[in-house]
Chains A and B, each alone.
Chain A
Amino acid sequence: MLKNRIIPCLDVKNGRVVKGINFVDLKDAGDPVEQAKIYSDGGADEICFLDITASNENRDTIYDVVKETSKKCFVPLTVGGGVRSVEDIYKLLSCGADKVSINTAAVQNAEVVLESSKKFGSQCIVVAIDAKKNENRWEVFTHGGRNNSGIDVLEYAKQMEENGAGELLVTSMDRDGTQVGYDIDLMSKISSKVNIPVIASGGVGNLDHLVDGIKLGKASAVLAASIFHYGKYSVKEAKEYLDSKGIPVRI
């Protein structure tokens, strides 16, 4: 039976982790490679890096981070943030990323998803959708949530599937950082709309939220950042909890 995945996400800025993991045995709280290794040793099903480097000059640091991580972690590694072109995707993949997530560029230029999925295979193309509710529907936001594209999220999700995305990483901007749980309505609607796996993101504050994301939100995978960073829960605890609730996980 296919297991639901738990994906810890690390925010990386200029090659350093911004929100660090609170572990006593950590030598360097800012080293993404070391933190990714702790997660993969703890049973993370995948690792996600979100590069939030502000300036283009420091972009190359993420390549070094990916290179080093892929030498030490033997679970899938997804990298996103600032991916603009097929060339960017190629660079990340050749450094050792297994999947690349594309956000703003996918909205601005459909060719990026079409061409890259054809060139590298759908399995490594994740389209990241930042969704915000506006009255009765959700709209796609770009540029790290700063710009409203006005595009309907559900239609966009379907379009991205048709363009060759292998997975959708859906973040509820209304919930992100609130720790009140995923936007279940949004997740389940998208998951029912498309036939590709949906990764739920944004709003996790406790382990029941992960359960809800899978059971009610029908997500194939759940992504979380802060509950793992601050040592509130370990990946192992999260998996054991999901298992106790009857959700199939890899233990």
Chain B
Amino acid sequence: MKITIVDYKSGNISSVINSFKEVAKDQVNLEVTSDIKKIQSSDKIVLPGQGSFKSCVDALKKINGLVDTLNEFTISKKKPLLGICVGLQMFADIGYEEIETKGLGWISGKVSKINNQNGKYKLPHIGWNQIKIVKDSKIFKDIDNNSHMYFVHSFEFIPQDKNVILATTDYSSKIVCAVEKENIFGAQFHPEKSDKIGLKIIDNFINL
């Protein structure tokens, strides 16, 4: 199997690479690239994302043909993709970080700043929080409800269709932290930094 971690120069992805290497060992042919041809021939894709919604979307667009290739991979061919953090947020139609910016539009919804209730909650939401699993998914195989995951973000994805929500986490309100729509998976938390339980999620994605 060939899995590609999309490297579109959106910040630091070495932790994502290391965690996939750790889990995949030698069973998976792991590529880290933005090469269109290599992405097209992959079986699965990981879309990381750090920094702002706008900077990530801009970085994707900067690479010629990348957005079209991702669209074809996920929407036409329906092959599995995992978005992490801003990688998940970009599934939305629109994001409001820095300036109103169009997303990939794969899962209808918007990305807005977490309501910190006038400073009652610190932002970014940094640290370990429990996830409440609201829907069964292959990605959560052998993951207990209320497991701790590592978060670091100030914006949240609010999907239109609540049926795509797999899990939420409690911080000021119920924040959507995992989604699934057909072949598209997303985690707001960082499985690559969430210790053994996070690595299990990566393992589940590899073994989908």
- Report Cα–Cα, A94/B16, bound state, in Å: 11
Chain A residues whose CB sits within 8 angstroms of the CB of B130 once the complex forms? 1
Chain A residues whose CB sits within 8 angstroms of the CB of B50 once the complex forms? 120-121, 123-124
Given the interface pairs A120-B51, A121-B52, the reply to whether A166 lies near B126 with Cβ below 8 Å is: yes
Q: Say whether A215 faces chain B, with CB atoms less than 8 Å apart.
A: no
- Report Cα–Cα, A221/B152, bound state, in Å: 14
Q: Say whether B100 faces chain A, with CB atoms less than 8 Å apart.
A: no
Given the interface pairs A123-B126, A250-B128, the reply to whether A98 lies near B193 with Cβ below 8 Å is: yes
Q: Say whether A75 faces chain B, with CB atoms less than 8 Å apart.
A: yes
- Report Cα–Cα, A220/B148, bound state, in Å: 16
Within 8 A of B (CB), among A119-168: 119-124, 166-167
| B153 and A123 contact, CB distance less than 8 A | yes
Given the interface pairs A74-B22, A74-B198, A120-B12, the reply to whether A196 lies near B193 with Cβ below 8 Å is: no
| A195 and B195 contact, CB distance less than 8 A | no
Chain A residues whose CB sits within 8 angstroms of the CB of B22 once the complex forms? 71, 74
Chain A residues whose CB sits within 8 angstroms of the CB of B126 once the complex forms? 123, 166-167, 197, 220
- Report Cα–Cα, A122/B55, bound state, in Å: 13
| B14 and A70 contact, CB distance less than 8 A | yes
Within 8 A of B (CB), among A212-237: 220-221
Chain A residues whose CB sits within 8 angstroms of the CB of B148 once the complex forms? 3, 250
Q: Say whether A13 faces chain B, with CB atoms less than 8 Å apart.
A: no
| A2 and B116 contact, CB distance less than 8 A | no
A74 in complex: contacting residue of B116, B122, B194, CB < 8 Å: B194
Closest chain-A Cβ to B205's Cβ sits at a distance in Å of: 15
| A166 and B125 contact, CB distance less than 8 A | no
Query: What is the number of residues of chain A that contact chain B, defined by CB distance less than 8 Å?
Result: 32
| B12 and A124 contact, CB distance less than 8 A | yes
B11 in complex: contacting residue of A2, A95, A124, CB < 8 Å: A124
| B127 and A45 contact, CB distance less than 8 A | yes
Within 8 A of A (CB), among B10-64: 11-12, 14-15, 18-19, 21-22, 50-52, 55
Given the interface pairs A3-B148, A94-B14, the reply to whether A195 lies near B123 with Cβ below 8 Å is: yes
Chain B residues whose CB sits within 8 angstroms of the CB of A221 once the complex forms? 127
Query: What is the number of residues of chain B that contact chain A, defined by CB distance less than 8 Å?
Result: 38
Chain A residue at minimal CB-CB distance from B14: A96
Q: Say whether A5 faces chain B, with CB atoms less than 8 Å apart.
A: yes
| A123 and B127 contact, CB distance less than 8 A | no
Q: Say whether A171 faces chain B, with CB atoms less than 8 Å apart.
A: no
Chain A residues whose CB sits within 8 angstroms of the CB of B11 once the complex forms? 93, 120-121, 124
A197 in complex: contacting residue of B18, B19, B122, CB < 8 Å: B122
Q: Say whether A76 faces chain B, with CB atoms less than 8 Å apart.
A: yes
Q: Say whether B150 faces chain A, with CB atoms less than 8 Å apart.
A: yes
Chain A residue at minimal CB-CB distance from B171: A2
Chain A residues whose CB sits within 8 angstroms of the CB of B153 once the complex forms? 123
Q: Say whether B170 faces chain A, with CB atoms less than 8 Å apart.
A: yes
| B14 and A5 contact, CB distance less than 8 A | no
Chain B residue at minimal CB-CB distance from A167: B126
Closest chain-B Cβ to A216's Cβ sits at a distance in Å of: 17
Q: A2-B151, A195-B122 are in contact. List 17 more A-B contacts (CB 8 A).
A: A2-B171, A4-B127, A40-B195, A74-B15, A74-B19, A74-B193, A74-B199, A75-B150, A75-B193, A93-B11, A94-B12, A98-B15, A98-B193, A120-B50, A122-B124, A123-B126, A166-B124
A-B contact pairs, 25 of them (CB 8 A): A2-B127, A2-B129, A2-B151, A3-B127, A3-B128, A3-B129, A3-B148, A5-B127, A45-B127, A71-B18, A71-B21, A74-B192, A74-B194, A74-B198, A119-B51, A120-B12, A121-B55, A123-B124, A124-B12, A124-B50, A195-B123, A196-B124, A197-B124, A220-B122, A220-B126
Q: Which residues of B contact A (CB under 8 A)?
A: 11-12, 14-15, 18-19, 21-22, 50-52, 55, 116, 119, 122-130, 148, 150-154, 170-171, 192-196, 198-199
